[in-house]
Structure 1
Amino acid sequence: MVTSVKYSAASPYFTTEISDNFLDIMNTRTIPKLSSDQIITINETYQYRPDMLAHDLYDNPGLWWVFAIRNPNTLIDPIYDFKTGIKIYLPKISTLKAALGI
């Protein structure tokens, strides 16, 4: 029995089905790669803390996972690869609103 989605639109699990209170195989969400995306170098403040960067940029620490989706070859592990000196692309909030429906 498939039940309705219980996750918010900002969650990485929003499009993953729930069956008998269990999550199905994760349906990975996409973040478009745009030429207007900003490139930053992670500093000590954000080392191992993508949630803090998401809070400062998007006012939502729950959007930490978008960095890993947008930078799949750089952030294999979304927490421990989030290190000082690593360059990543940052999607704009307008891109996230359009892509995720938030």
Structure 2
Amino acid sequence: MTDRIPAPSTPHVRIREEMLGLMQALSEGIRIDRLMADQLSQISDRARLCGEGEMADGLLDVTRRHRVAELEGQGRLAALEARYAILFPDEP
């Protein structure tokens, strides 16, 4: 029985795989920022209802940061997807 050594991946394949991995990571980061913003917004609303205005304001600030991070991630993902489409027009 002989051990088969896989053929080394070409730079084309490696770059494609790395880009797909980065797009997946960006998508996950966007999803997490969206979830965090949604949860923090709800907690902020509850804090305000309990008379904790200062805490609610602080939570809204963090909520805004997550919303901005979500939008920035979407922009990065769109740019990467556009570049991917140019580099790999025949790939899904």
TM-score by shorter chain over 0.5? no
User: Which protein is bigger by CA-based radius of gyration?
Assistant: 2
- What TM-score, normalized to structure 1? 0.21
- What TM-score, normalized to structure 2? 0.23
Q: Which structure would you say has the larger RCO, counting Cα contacts within 8 Å and 6 or more residues apart?
A: 2
Query: Which structure shows the higher strand fraction?
Result: 1
